[in-house]
Structure 1
Amino acid sequence: MEQIRIKQVDEKKISQYIIKYTMEDWMSIVDSDVVIVGAGPSGMTAAYYLAKAGKKTVIFERRLSFGGGIGGGAMNFHKVVIETPANEIMEEVGVKMKEVEEGVFVVDTAEFMAKLGAAVVDAGAKIIHGVTVDDVIFREDPLRVAGVAVEWTSTQMSGLHVDPLFISAKAVLDATGHDSEIISVAARKLPELNIQIPGEKSAYSEIAEELVVMNSGKVAEGLYSSGMATAEVRGLPRMGPIFGAMLLSGRKVAEDIIHDIR
């Protein structure tokens, strides 16, 4: 076998390249159009459409991977269900589907995550892993959410007290799932926003899909919900391993944000 000659790179240059180009990204990110919290199906779908529309969009994901609840499938089975018209989004990003009855499709979870994530990045959005959003920024006259405070997830896990960095945004989307973490923080710390969080109901898939899509959108000025965060905030049923509403919710809230911040 012919010997493979690998380019030699000095260790300090490796560090310099990483630090320099990471900081260039962060210098841009600190003034974003849209911050999305959570790289699950609704958050990534929203990022895809926002970035396609030319909005500077960043997703902060506390884990070191994207996909949210997609990867777990149904009880760790590696398939989930998509129904019409969400299959249009799957087709747009290149996910293969198996139609099992008219308008109902089964998709592979790994392909779903990989191709949706790639579409987000190709559209121009940033996905930053290992970052936890633990607070919002607000402004008055009018009262509105104007950004987020972020910490490294590893810092929080270590129990160290370190002050956050602040990220400015015209819109903040809570796509954190069942706990609606960002909206919950805003409701607790900014009671003037008059946000009520009744909590999600038990499963009723047949009606939950449409209700989640219909109710995704603005919760307060500058603050939006999508996916299961919407079920939590609006008191809607959960739906289990069927993901059409997650995708359509992300697309719907992206359209709302594009309209509001144009």
Structure 2
Amino acid sequence: MNPINIAPLRERDITRHIAREYYKEFDALIESDIIIVGGGPSGLLCARDLAAIGFRTLLIEQSLALGGGFWSGGFLMNKATICEPADRILEELGIPFKPIKDCPGMTMVDPPHVT
């Protein structure tokens, strides 16, 4: 087997290059048009919709995961109601729901399906 020549490298040079690339990307993300505080269901949808129409959106969440209590079992009710036109998002995601007969414009969904 023939020896392979490897160019001499210094750790400080590698670290500088990694840091420069990171900060170049980070610098592009510093400016925001909108800051949303809270990454629960409403914050997530708000951030998604605003970003989709071109706003530079920053979402801040204090927990380790996005989704709020709704995703983690903190939502104690066994059913959730969704107002129109938000039910379109459920349709878009393939989440089963049903209209509430006595409440026009309202639908019912099981939280486990939403998660």
- Which bracket does the TM-score occupy, shorter chain normalised? 0.5 to 0.7
CA–CA distance in 2 between the matches of 1:91 and 1:19?
A: 43
Cα pair distance change 1:47/1:62, threshold 3 Å: same
What is the DSSP-based 3-state SS (H/G/I as helix, E as strand, rest coil) of the residue aligned with 1:70? helix
CA–CA distance in 2 between the matches of 1:99 and 1:20?
A: 52
Q: Which AA in structure 1 matches 2:46?
A: A
Cα pair distance change 1:36/1:58, threshold 3 Å: same
Cα pair distance change 1:21/1:69, threshold 3 Å: farther
Cα pair distance change 1:63/1:21, threshold 3 Å: farther
Q: TM-score, normalised by structure 1?
A: 0.30
Query: How many residues in Structure 1 have an aligned counterpart in Structure 2?
Result: 94
| Per-residue CA distance 1:41-76 (angstroms, 9 max, x = gap) | 22111111111101111211111111113122226x
What is the DSSP-based 3-state SS (H/G/I as helix, E as strand, rest coil) of the residue aligned with 1:104? strand
Q: 2:110 aligns with which of 107, 111, 136?
A: 107
1:82–1:107 contact (8 Å) kept in structure 2: no
What is the DSSP-based 3-state SS (H/G/I as helix, E as strand, rest coil) of the residue aligned with 1:73? coil
CA–CA distance in 1 between the matches of 2:28 and 2:107?
A: 41
What is the DSSP-based 3-state SS (H/G/I as helix, E as strand, rest coil) of the residue aligned with 2:75? coil
5+ residue gaps, structure 2, are 1-10
1:245-256 equivalence runs, <5 A: none
| Per-residue CA distance 1:85-134 (angstroms, 9 max, x = gap) | 32123223x1412316334221334x535xxxxxxxxxxxxxxxxxxxxx
CA–CA distance in 1 between the matches of 2:21 and 2:109?
A: 39
RMSD after superposition: 3.0
CA–CA distance in 2 between the matches of 1:107 and 1:20?
A: 47
1:80-229 equivalence runs, <5 A: 80-92=80-92, 94-99=93-98, 101-102=100-101, 103-109=106-112, 112-113=114-115
Q: TM-score, normalised by structure 2?
A: 0.61
Indicate the residue corresponding to 1:67 in structure 2: 67
Q: Which has the larger radius of gyration?
A: 2
Identity of aligned residues (%): 32
| Per-residue CA distance 1:115-164 (angstroms, 9 max, x = gap) | xxxxxxxxxxxxxxxxxxxxxxxxxxxxxxxxxxxxxxxxxxxxxxxxxx
1:28 shift after superposition: 2.2
CA–CA distance in 2 between the matches of 1:61 and 1:83?
A: 25
